[in-house]
Amino acid sequence: MCPCRTALIYSPLFGNFNFGDDHPFKLQRNRLAYDLMDAYGLLGLPDMQIHDCLPASDELLLSFHHPDYIARLKEFSASDEPRADFRFGLGDADCPVFKGLYDYAALGAGATFEAVRLVEEEGFDAAFNMNGGWHHAHRARASGFSYLNDAVVAINWLVARGRRILYLDMDAHHGDGVQEAFYDTDQVLTISLHESGIYFYPGTGFEDEIGEGRGRGYSVNVPLLAHTDDAMFLKAFDEVAYPLIAAFNPDIIVTQIGADTFRTDPLTNLEITTHSYCEILSKIKRFKIPWVALGGGGYDLMNTARAWTLAWAIMNSVELDPRLPSAFIDKIEPQGYQNRVLLDAMHWADEGERALALAAVEKSIASIKKTIFPAILGKL
């Protein structure tokens, strides 16, 4: 076990909100992940701390979000009546309005700010906010289950302090809101590995979205076709993300580690498992660069709990028993979960589907090496 200092940002208030019984985003996953970490003894490690958090301040949120949008979020949050304002993306099926909405979103953003603050000001080596990673929120519009862009406002605070940031997004969905925020700066390198926007939400994140002005070359996208498996996901990371991270050599790495890339996620079409997920996180750990991790997507609750437990173990250099603890199994079995193991075997997609996905990822990698690599490596 390494002597590094780590912090898990966790508030009991995370579970006090509800997007609706029929909404695919279930906040219970935070507690499920927390309980699994606890069952493995990961919440009492000698060099880790659990930190509560406060809601993000208006000053922090206004570093990215429009004041009219923040005002409308607060207004709707206080209302007992159903409300909608589609100019701001509020009240549709993806981004419902519910009482306490602003409190929920500001608390998640505050948790991410606390994570970066601990790394920046108090010298923590890694910090994890599982209730963060809302990468679809735009300056004045909610989108894709995201109301406030916690990553952007936290990174803005770091950039204002002169830090150079690497943002790596492993969610199945393109990190469009984060890309938008840093599209014209060379202080933040954004890299997103995601399911292709040709047919998948949010319809962005193509290889030719490379940034503009000073930011040209600092926006990197690897769109992946359905049925991309572990080997292809690792290939995208190893041939694109890894060399760019090494060359950029950031002051802090911020990762969005959504688990909706997993092959049994109900909303996505990739075929990733814990195998490539853990390999990538282990490689990030080995950079020995201060690291902030944010939860993101994941709509199979046990997949998400397993993924984030593994991520927290990797941050703390702890190896876990591949069998779930018996006490945890006893807890989840009455809830209908049949899971018994923590780890998945490496998965290969069916041959025909795999050929198409492999051709696509190879084409993306070649494009990025032709456009991004000369642009960014020539500046460093």
Q: Which of 136, 174, 227, 275 is catalytic?
A: 136
Query: 303: part of which helix (H) or strand (E)?
Result: helix 301-315
Query: 179: part of which helix (H) or strand (E)?
Result: helix 176-181
The answer to whether the CB of 96 falls within 8 A of the CB of 19 is yes
The answer to whether the CB of 209 falls within 8 A of the CB of 240 is no
Q: Which residues contact 229 (CB under 8 A, 6 or more apart)?
A: 263, 270, 271, 272, 347, 348, 349, 354, 357
Q: Look up 136 and say whether it is catalytic.
A: yes
The answer to whether the CB of 65 falls within 8 A of the CB of 340 is no
The whole-angstrom distance between residue 334's C-alpha and the CA centroid of its chain comes to 30
C-alpha span between 305 and 324 (Å, rounded): 11
For 107, phi then psi, to 5°, come to -70, -40
Give, as one character, the DSSP assignment of residue 237: I
| Residue from 332, 325, 338, 343 nearest 40 by CA | 325
Q: Which residues contact 178 (CB under 8 A, 6 or more apart)?
A: 135, 149, 151, 152, 155, 167, 169, 190, 192, 256
The answer to whether the CB of 36 falls within 8 A of the CB of 331 is no
For the chain, strand residue ranges (E) read 6-9, 48-51, 126-129, 165-169, 188-195, 219-224, 252-256, 291-294
Region for 299 from its dihedrals, namely left if φ exceeds 0, alpha if ψ lies in -120 to 50, beta otherwise: alpha
Active-site annotation, residues: 136
